[in-house]
Amino acid sequence: MSVKENADIKLTCYHCGEHCADDRIQHGNKIFCCQGCKMVYQILEQSDLCEYYDLNKNPGINRRFTVREDKFAFLDDEKIIEKLIQFRNDEQTHVMFYLPQMHCSSCLYLLENLHKIHEGVISTQVNFPRKEIEIVFQTGKTTLRKVAETLTGLGYEPYISLNDLNPKRPSVTRKQIYQLGIAGFCFGNIMLLSFPEYLGIDASEETLLRVFRWLSLALSLPVVFYSAMPYYESAFKSIQKKYINIDAPIVLAIALTFIRSVYEVISGTGSGYFDSLTGIVFFLLIGRILQDKTYRSLSFDRDYTSYFPIAVTVLKENKPVAVSLPDIKPGDTLLIHNEELIPADGILSKGKGYIDYSFVTGESQPVFKEVGEMIYAGGKQKGGNIEILVIKEVSQSYLTRLWNREEMKNEKLDFRRSRAEFLNRYFSSIVFGIAALTAAYWGWHDASKIWPAITAIFIVACPCALALAHTFTNGNVLRILSRNRLYLRNAQVLEEISKITHIVFDKTGTLTSTENYDVEYSGKSLSDKQLAMIVSLAGQSAHPLSKAIAGKIKIGKALSVQRFQEIPGKGIQGMVEGVELKMGNAAFVKAPQIRYPGSGVHVCIGTEYKGYFRVRNHYRDRLPAVIQNLKKQFRLSVVSGDNENEKETLQKIFGEDTPLLFHQKPEDKLNYIHALRQKGEHVMMLGDGLNDAGALKASHVGIAVTENSGYFTPASDAILLADRIPLLPRFICMAQWNKKVLFAAFAYSVIYNVIGLTFAVQAALSPMIAAILMPSSSIGIVLITYGVTNLLARRLEL
Amino acid sequence: MSVIIILLAISISIALIFLGAFLWSVRTGQLDDDISPASRILFDDKPKNLTGNSSKLPKTKGYAS
């Protein structure tokens, strides 16, 4: 790295790329934002792994806030180890960790060289799409806890939740890929063998012709009896439920084509339609895989177990012991550290609770709790350690009970009436009508042609084109949306989005950002020097409000702070430049008795009260424009678990006619959605927290908004990255167009069907015509759907 | 004519070998992760430094940034 380059990136941390307040923390000629980042650099330098920094610029993960030392103490517990590891003998232990921080090729490089840093690790293998790492280490030489701590030290903290205690989920099924591969293989070879027939093979080569036909028959067997399996299953299931889905006529067409082809080959009357048959199965399978593409690092079915930690510290005879969560009993005393989750309802028995419920209830400001007060599970402690006396088991707490309500267990509505199925019903009845007419006609004129004509009709007019159009359009639109960070659970969601009439928003975490704040000051005017003093003091604290103030107000160089003190639940104080400074709540700084809008951070310099900073969650960028845009098409509502402080601001953004509901409990949100549905609305809900989980599930389309796809999201139909909320109107537009594209493709397939049917009703469908018609229609469909959807995406700038 | 039959047998058996290779690669999970192998191949082990002090070696050029 040259000196000049260094000058350019001055004051950004060499490790994580974050802005550095000053250049005090140095190593070599590199600047770091904090000791944590510097330490990681030193470890890598010692282990000769500095290639980490060459692969990507500032690839590291910020280490300013370190994880407390004994956080992973529970990994010494044999019972927990037993559940987490995949394999163990006297020599080796295999374990899989989920590392949500993994993000670039540098991460991959570092993690796969873990054995150079951590003695005892034999090998590591990363699965990047899943953000998982499989670690093999020597049993006895190192422990699970030590490995987890090394990873955490490097910035890759393993995410271990209560969910990991469950039995392992079945491994990914690769059946679809086998089926596709085999269909492709058979289709290609049958195509090759069919060419002589198309080109008119000499009749004298009869033996050769027969060999070709029998080989084609043999090659079609795996396709009919293995690759096409999913269609049989789905058709069978639908008939069991007494309705006909789109796969049923496809199965009928496959069966008829196969029987007729086998008959032709055995009787020596023709070559059959093996090429068309295998070709269509092949294309259908491609479409299916495209549509079913899953996002492997995301999960749409998380419940509270993936949000809760796997173990918590329990005080037994005044000694901290790690106990796994299901083993916690009422009467236990839990020790909760800063930033830790409270896993069970209890009573605060020691310390000052400063509890952030934003994820659980939607309240934007942490709640202050004194000894003796009740604390509900799900909140996060901010500040010092507290002790809690458990009064309810984890499975009985307020939060988990919410989850065990009936609504949460119900499967989402039955999706049988999808659009393709709707079209199919018309399509099928018309085809059956034509078949009946043709049979009647040939029965009158030439009974020997009934069978060929009818089979030909079903071969040509199978709704394969429709199925193809459906899967390919959906598959491509899903791909376009995922490129824009909206991940849908499946293609059905797309159809639901196009029908919505009402959009319900959560406030905290959805309309506002939980990571970005707006800071306003009111009070006596402050000089630049005084402002610098305030920011320097705030910079010392990890409290969210202090962090917001220190982050939002830009000053030159930070001043040094002496005798810094943080009083949990009250405020902070310290000496800056020889002057005493106090910041915190009104009582702490002895602010004069006046009414303040909402909560504020009050400031006292020396003995003089100066004023207060109002810290509010920042509304997401471009929000007003987006809301105005959505208002033209949909009815909107806001349901928030928070208080009414923000009512005015929201009313301004949403307009007078939008219902704004505050103090909404999770049940209230759920009931609100139910009420809308009863009115016949098609509801989309956007929310981020556990308190929205019921509402997300109850709405037609529940979209979980998240700042980072590695974070926990409640169960939902879709996951949307928060910074893409401004694109919402375009997403909906895309979903609506998806429907039109599908109809266009359907129209195209009707034209092709009319051509094919004119041959078929005359009993004149030769295998060659079928072989030309089928692939050309399939390719046509694929081109139409891909072309149009991509064009739309470009028009919508997605 | 018989030569065509032989050729046919050869072509199909070669195709079968490739199908087998494909199925094997899927079964052993080689297609599960389509991102990391592409990066992994670019990581090379630095030549071992005999003195054990690598900081004096010239830095390798970055290729990804």
CA distance B54 to chain A (A): 7
pLDDT at res. B61: 39
pLDDT at site A232: 93
Mean pLDDT of chain A: 82
Tell me, yes or no, whether A179 and A277 share the same domain: yes
Q: Smallest Cβ distance to A105: which of B1, B31, B64? A: B64
Backbone region of residue A508 per phi and psi (left: phi > 0; alpha: psi in -120 to 50; beta: other values): beta
Query: Nearest residue on chain A to B36, judged by CA atoms?
Result: A128
What's the average model confidence in pLDDT over A479-486?
A: 88
pLDDT interval class at B54 (50, 70, 90): very low
Judging contacts by C-beta atoms under 8 Å, the chain A residues touching residue B18 are 185
Beta partners for residue A521, in sequence order: A613
In chain A, count H helices and then E strands.
Answer: 28, 28
Containing B14, the helix (H) or strand (E) segment is helix B2-27
The residue among B2, B18, B33 with the most chain A CBs within 10 A of its CB, best to mutate, is B33
pLDDT in tens, A309-326: 888 888 888 888 888 888
- Which pLDDT belongs to residue B60? 41
Is pLDDT of B63 > 70?
A: no
* Section A379-395 average pLDDT: 82
Residue A321 shares a structural domain with residue A215? no
| DSSP conformation class of A139 | B
Quote the pLDDT of residue A418. Answer: 66
pLDDT for position A414: 46
The answer to whether residue A208 sits within a structural domain is: yes
Q: Is A75 contained in some domain?
A: yes
Q: Give the residue on B whose Cα is nearest the Cα of A207.
A: B1
Looking at the fold, whether A745 and A730 belong to one and the same domain comes out as no
User: How many domains does one find in chain B?
Assistant: 1
C-alpha to C-alpha distance for A14 and A30, rounded to whole angstroms? 6
Judge whether B45 lies within some domain.
no
Is A208 near chain B, with CB under 8 Å?
yes
How confident is the model over A168-192, as pLDDT tens digits? 555 557 888 899 999 999 999 998 8
The answer on A500 and A626 residing in a single domain is yes
Q: Which of residues 29-48 of B touch A (CB under 8 A)?
A: 31-36, 39-40, 42-43, 46
What is the model's pLDDT at position A130?
79
Looking at the domain assignment, is residue B54 inside a domain?
no
Is there a contact between B26 and A126 if contact means CB atoms under 8 Å apart?
no
Nearest CA to A437 among A463, A464, A461?
A: A461
**DSSP letters of A399-429?**
HHHHHTSHHHHSPP------HHHHHHHHHHH
Q: How does the average pLDDT of chain B come out, rounded?
A: 72
From A477, A83, A158, select the one nearest A293 (Cα to Cα): A477
pLDDT given at position B51: 42
Q: Are residues A365 and A424 in the same domain?
A: no
Q: How far is A32 from chain B (nearest CA, A)?
A: 19
| Rg over CA atoms, chain A | 32
Give residue A352's domain range: 309-342+344-396
Is A218 near chain B, with CB under 8 Å? no
B64·A55 Cβ contact <8 A: yes
Nearest to A459 by CA among A326, A312, A687, A272: A272
pLDDT surpassing 60 at residue A126: yes
pLDDT confidence tier of residue A300, bands split at 50, 70 and 90: confident
Q: Percent of chain A at pLDDT above 90?
A: 10
What phi and psi values does residue A91 have, to the nearest 5 degrees? -100, -45
| Number of independent structural domains in chain A | 5
Up-side HSE of residue A552: CA atoms within 13 Å toward CB? 19
Q: Does the distance separating the beta carbons of B32 and A54 come in below 8 Å? A: no
Same domain, A628 and A724: yes
Which residues of A fall within a CB distance of 8 Å from B2? Answer: none
Quick check: A560 and A550 in contact, CB under 8 A?
A: no
pLDDT tens-place string over residues A616-661: 778 888 888 899 989 988 999 999 888 787 888 888 888 888 889 8
Residue A683 φ then ψ, to 5°: -105, 135
The 10s digit of each residue's pLDDT in A437-452 is 988 988 888 888 888 8
Give pLDDT tens digits for A243-253. 777 788 889 88
Question: Residue A410's pLDDT is what?
Answer: 55
Res. A7 pLDDT band, cuts 50 70 90: very low
- Average confidence (pLDDT) over A257-262: 91
Q: Is residue B29's pLDDT more than 60?
A: yes
| B11 within a domain of the structure (yes/no) | yes
Instruction: Report the length, in residues, of chain B.
Output: 65
Residue A562 pLDDT exceeds 80: yes
Confirm whether B48 is domain-assigned.
Answer: no
Residues of B in contact with A114 (CB under 8 A): none
Q: Among A154, A90, A97, which residue's Cα sits nearest to residue A124?
A: A97
Find the range with the poorest average confidence among A200-204, A331-335, A506-510.
Answer: A200-204
Same domain, A723 and A748: no
Q: Which residues constitute the domain of residue B22?
A: 1-29
Q: What integer pLDDT is reported at residue A184 of this predicted model?
A: 94
Nearest residue, CB atoms, B33 vs list A53, A128, A181: A128
For residue A1, pLDDT beyond 70? no
| Predicted confidence (pLDDT) per residue in A50-72, tens digit | 888 887 777 877 776 666 677 78
- Ranking A55-64, A80-89, A124-133, A719-728 by mean pLDDT, the lowest is A55-64
Nearest to A57 among B22, B36, B65 (CB): B65
> In whole angstroms, what is the distance from residue A225 CA to residue A215 CA?
16
Span A347-368, average pLDDT = 77
Q: Are residues A76 and A107 in the same domain?
A: yes
Contact A407/B at CB under 8 A: no
Query: What is the per-residue pLDDT for A595?
Result: 58
Q: Is the pLDDT of residue A386 over 50?
A: yes
Q: Per-residue pLDDT for A415 more than 50?
A: no
pLDDT at A123 over 50: yes
pLDDT of residue A180: 93
Question: Do the domain assignments include residue B4?
Answer: yes
Query: pLDDT band at A505, cuts 50/70/90?
Result: very high
pLDDT at A413 over 50: no
Task: Give the whole-angstrom CA distance, residue A163 versus residue A719.
Answer: 20
Examine the pLDDT at A568 and tell me if it is beyond 70.
Answer: no
Helix axes of A35-46 and A144-153: crossing angle, nearest 10 degrees:
110
Same domain? A626 vs A724? yes
CATH number at residue A109: 3.30.70.100
Position A9 pLDDT exceeds 60: no
- A74: nearest Cα among A168, A160, A163: A160
pLDDT value, residue A501: 92
Residue A609 in domain: no
Q: Which of residues 92-151 of A touch B (CB under 8 A)?
A: 105-106, 108-109, 112, 126-130
- pLDDT at position A408, please? 60
> Residue A710 above 80 pLDDT?
no
Question: In chain A, what residues touch B26 (CB-CB under 8 Å)?
Answer: 174, 177-178, 181
* Distance separating alpha carbons of residues A508 and A683, to the nearest angstrom: 20
A484 inside domain: yes
Answer yes or no: do A107 and A243 share one domain.
no
Whether ipTM exceeds 0.90: no
Whether the CB of A207 is below 8 Å from some CB of chain B: the reply is yes
Per-residue pLDDT band for A405 (boundaries 50, 70, 90) equals low
Is residue A746 domain-shared with residue A656, that is, in the same domain? Answer: no
Residue A541 is assigned to a structural domain of this protein = no
pLDDT of res. A503 = 93
Max Cα–Cα distance, chain A, nearest Å: 113
Put simply, the chain A residues between 4 and 63 with a CB less than 8 A from any chain B CB are: 45, 48, 50-51, 53-57
3-state secondary structure of A144: helix
Assign residue A676 the CATH number of its domain: 3.40.50.1000
* Angle (nearest 5°) at CA A386 between A384 and A389: 175
Which candidate from A50, A129, A181 shows the least CB-CB separation from B22?
A181
- Does any domain span residue B42? no
Distance CA A287, CA A545 (A): 51
Pair A658, A756 in one domain: no
Q: What distance in Å separates the CA atoms of residue A699 and residue A716, rounded to the nearest whole number?
A: 10
